A and B are shown apart, each in its own frame.
Chain A
Amino acid sequence: MLFGMAVLASFPAQVLASAPEVTGRPVQHQLNLQTPVTDIGAEIYTLHTWMMVVCVAIFLAVFGVMFYSVFAHRRSRGHKPATFHESTTVEIAWTIVPFLIVIVMALPATKTVIAMKDTSNADLTIKATGMQWKWGYDYLKGEGEGISFLSNLSTPRSQVGEPGVAPTEKRSDTYLLEVDHEVVVPVNKKVRIVLTANDVIHSWTIPAFAVKQDAIPGFVRDTWFRAKEVGVYRGSCVELCGKDHAFMPIVVRVVSAADYTAWVGKEKARMAALADDPNKTWTIDELKTKGEKVYAANCVACHQANGQGMPNTFASLVESPVVLGAKAEQINVLLNGKHSGKYQTAMPAWKQLSDTDIASVITFTRNNWSNKAAENIVQPAEILAARSK
């Protein structure tokens, strides 16, 4: 029955196999590991296949014997019971043989474990920070040093739907596996990922690289990969991290050395633009428009689109004393976070956002929904000033 199901299930996969191969994400009716694009991934793929073969062989042998017995040694066929119930020789044999098989399985695995742990001599080091519910990346060392960004799910809510609200848009092939800001790395270079987390444990994985490492708050762990093919590779957070655990994917775009250099140039320019003159004075409408975007990217998961948060879990911003009161306190909360104890989840610090982003999102919250704060505008310069305090 099971094998029948496996064959049935593999049928569409075989049809698909004639089409150009999809890498970097699961395909429909996929039965095996994703196609590896690193040496470690290839080793693991082979290791798994080989173990499956050994296990299936043992399984068939043992259950061949058992089912032969089930059919031959039944009372309905007039079989008389034998009386044997012990044999030290046999017991020793079937202790030692599995022991040897296990050793043979462990040997190649040992080699791979040692290779996986060798994070030395990396060409590029990137720090990945898990946050509820997004990833932050900082390029620490190598070409592109200094690049820093947040990476959010880019699948629109209109594809996800809500309980009682049907999705209004067709789901794409990369549904829940797409982000607004991809990690870009050069092909054939050893990339070391250094991981930590802001709040709870998250886990960073790209199945096609055979990389998976927990990101632990307050601690630093690392892992590495060397992708051998240009392409886009997708993964997901794989350690339960709360409400939107399923909605913080990881996307790595592997590009040629030249494309990488070009990307670094573009990122540097973007960073420079972000760090735009903090002394520029913005109009309230400019800030509100920009703030709405910042809010949608960073705040909406907890405080919700209606600003009302969730009872006992996330604070409401509507008619909130912090939002309506003196702006210094709200700036302080955004830069340093807040854990009042009234809500289960703490407000994290957002100092990695630019001065303009913070100023605009504060201005947005002070003038949106039913909020009409007395101090209704915050300029980037004020954030800059607060940072240096």
Chain B
Amino acid sequence: MNTRTLDPVPGHDHGHADGHDHAHDHAHDHHQPHGLQRWLFATNHKDIGTLYLWFSFVMLLSGGVLALMIRSELFQPGLQFFRPEFFNQLTTMHGLVMVFGAIMPAFVGFANWMIPLQVGASDMAFARMNNFSFWLLPPAALLLATSFWVPGGATAAGWTLYAPLSTQMGPGMDMAIFAMHLMGASSIMGSINIIVTILNMRAPGMTLMKMPMFCWTWLITAYLLIAVMPVLAGAITMTLTDRHFGTSFFNAAGGGDPVMYQHIFWFFGHPEVYIMILPAFGIVSQILPAFARKPLFGYASMVYATASIAILSFIVWAHHMFTTGMPVTSQLFFMYATMLIAVPTGVKVFNWVATMWKGSMTFETPMLFAVGFIFVFTMGGFTGLILAVTPVDIQLQDTYYVVAHFHYVLVAGSLFALFAGFYYWSPKWTGHMYPEGRGKFHFWASLITFNITFFPMHFLGLAGMPRRYADYNAQFTDFNAIATIGAFGFGLSQVFFLLFVVIPTIRGGARAPAKPWDGAEGLEWTVPSPAPFHTFETPPLVK
């Protein structure tokens, strides 16, 4: 019998005999919301997933435009296009928009779409809260975007918003703080929803250790989010009261400590980077077995490795702060703890390679992005290990080496995994197959231009070019010019993705069967493509 009797709109899922009175079904079909109402009052996990994905894509392109403005200024030394104070606004907003607007909501969009389908649930646990957690995001984005036009412009304190520079900013800073509060509240609600859905609404027979890896990584990520988003909220609230209400949390003259802000921020910030990569690990762990036609190698150890990374992420935060001047024991502790993370991360990479080993592989676009992810993400992993070593980090802190490192893990890592996930699941979302040739072109264009953009930054950083610089000494010119050319190529590749892959796939294309990938496993492939508005009204039985 139906476990969710409160569904206002019974489903079209006629493929499943579910004991519903069909006349009753049809009577309600006319109430299926259309137009603006469908999206504004959306409670369906698929609609909300779609909203999240579109929101994050718009933010990705906006953040991308900011990035290209940065790269244009840095094409040559000197100041050509922007004054330094505006340049600082660009770098700050690029970071905030990409982290909080693009990558995080994109993964929540995937979670909304796929977790109920993967665990055999009819919807997310809290459908109305789900609506609220999405609709908090557009106002937050609006606050960030409009802050460019207030006196003093957008906040220019860097995405980390270090005090006391953040107390010097104009009202743009307050708007950013409010925007981050909204996004944080949204994340916390989204996480609660995901945890409750996964823990309470799995189909009968689906034990935790039978769950798809994407659900596992998101379950762990959701706990991380609940643990650290309030910490960020605390840090920026203290900044707000320091700015306006006479407190001195981060002001030494009043007995505070600017470095305390960094401790609090990075206690959030380091788990945050795993929040942005763990679901990516999950997506890749779904795709590799499907296209190697061989089960994921070491499922249990993948779960344990993910959990280990999550736990370790709470005790490494101060490796972002080696140059603030810590006692030698703290430097050593944070160096050792950080290097330890290489172990579970290594286990994951080894397991992926073992999954591919002796498979029967084909290389459709999802697989290309997944393999590309492993290859390029691992480069970012290695530079992370090198940066973990305190003395080397002190040489490279706040240089372009760090910029290269985190773009290798966030763009080639998180973003490539998101692309892989799009190509893998879009047949289920849209009911159409994406154009394979264009998908492959998107992959190769992204991979090559990504490396043209970010590989030279390693050299710049080693040679000592500081990050967040509007102008640089002339010896750095050529690598910066190469990076700028690559960045425009990368940006164009994503416009190509939107215009020639995403939109055509939504509008039409070859009909996708229920299970377009012969090696794919999981409940999501047992429902038709496109997935009907309501699925699994009767939970499936998992053997």
Contact = CB atoms under 8 A, between A and B. Distances in A.
A109 B301 CA distance: 30
A73 B357 contact: yes
B440 to A, nearest CB: 15
A171 B77 contact: yes
A21 interface: no
Nearest to B293: A81
A79 B251 CA distance: 65
B253 to A, nearest CB: 6
B298 A85 contact: yes
A242 interface: yes
Contacts of A241: 165
Give the bracket for the number of chain B residues in contact with chain A: 35 or more
A370 B385 CA distance: 59
B313 to A, nearest CB: 17
Contacts of B355: 85
A70 interface: yes
Contacts of A216: 252, 258-259, 324-325
Interface string B288-327: 0000111111111100000000000000000000011101
B494 to A, nearest CB: 20
B358 A79 contact: yes
A310 B86 CA distance: 13
B292 A81 contact: yes
B258 A174 contact: no
B13 interface: no
Interface in A102-117: 102, 105-106, 109-110, 112-114, 116-117
Contacts of B80: 161, 163
A356 interface: no
Given A117-B331, A214-B325, A217-B252, A94 B83 contact: no
Given A102-B339, A200-B165, A241-B165, A221 B325 contact: yes
Query: By CB atoms of chain A within 10 A, which of B300, B342, B379 has the most?
Result: B342
A310 to B, nearest CB: 8
A65 interface: yes
A34 interface: yes
A62 B381 CA distance: 13
B509 interface: no
12 contacts: A26-B465, A32-B463, A47-B391, A51-B392, A55-B385, A69-B358, A74-B363, A79-B359, A113-B332, A171-B77, A221-B325, A238-B466
Given A26-B465, A33-B464, A241-B165, 10 more contacts: A28-B478, A51-B386, A59-B382, A175-B77, A175-B473, A217-B164, A238-B398, A245-B468, A246-B469, A313-B152
Interface of B: 77-85, 88, 151-152, 156-158, 162, 164-165, 168-170, 251-253, 257-259, 292-301, 323-325, 327-328, 331-332, 335-336, 339-340, 342-343, 346-347, 349-351, 353-363, 371, 374-375, 378-379, 382, 385-386, 389-392, 394-395, 397-399, 448, 451-452, 455-456, 459, 462-479
